Amino acid sequence: MATFRKPKLFTPAVGARGMTELHFAAYSGDLERLERALDSGLDPETPDDYRGYTALHWLADMAATGGPRLRMLEVLVAHGADLDRVSATGDTAVSLARDAASAGGDALEAALIALGARAPGKRVQGGDSDE
């Protein structure tokens, strides 16, 4: 008889699977921590080792949880965040915000597109939309 093994879930934390202070601040919706991380020189384009997410991906992935995410988006963009960067899982910030299926996700998706992000169908693979 096969033994069921419960999958191990990833618990985001600084240092876990390449998550930096900047990633965690974006994940947590913590504007002050995000600004401190950027001021200390952390690069908004550095991906984590888990899903290849940048801070912008984490910001969008957790859009449903609230926080000053629209202001955080502005700060990340001012520091050079790529609005159309594709993660290792084929996600963009727009697709993650859309997948949040929440008022916060909808607002973040609209703000990303207003700033010039492409609006893909669902996911982007190899830089091409799947529309």
pLDDT tens-digit readout, 49-71 = 999 999 999 999 999 898 999 99
| Beta strands, E only, 1-131 | 124-125, 128-129
The pLDDT tens digits of the residues spanning 65-99 come to: 989 999 999 999 999 999 999 999 999 999 999 99
Q: Domain for residue 8, yes or no?
A: no
Q: Domain for residue 2, yes or no?
A: no
CATH classification of the domain holding 22 = 1.25.40.20
Q: How far is CA 103 from CA 1, 92, 99, in A?
A: 46, 18, 11
Number of compact structural domains in the chain: 1
The pLDDT tens digits of the residues spanning 1-29 come to: 566 665 566 788 898 999 999 999 999 99
Q: Domain for residue 4, yes or no?
A: no
What's the full length of the chain, in residues?
131
The residue range of the domain holding 49 is 17-125
Residues 6+ apart with CB under 8 A from 3: none
- Which pTM value belongs to this model? 0.84
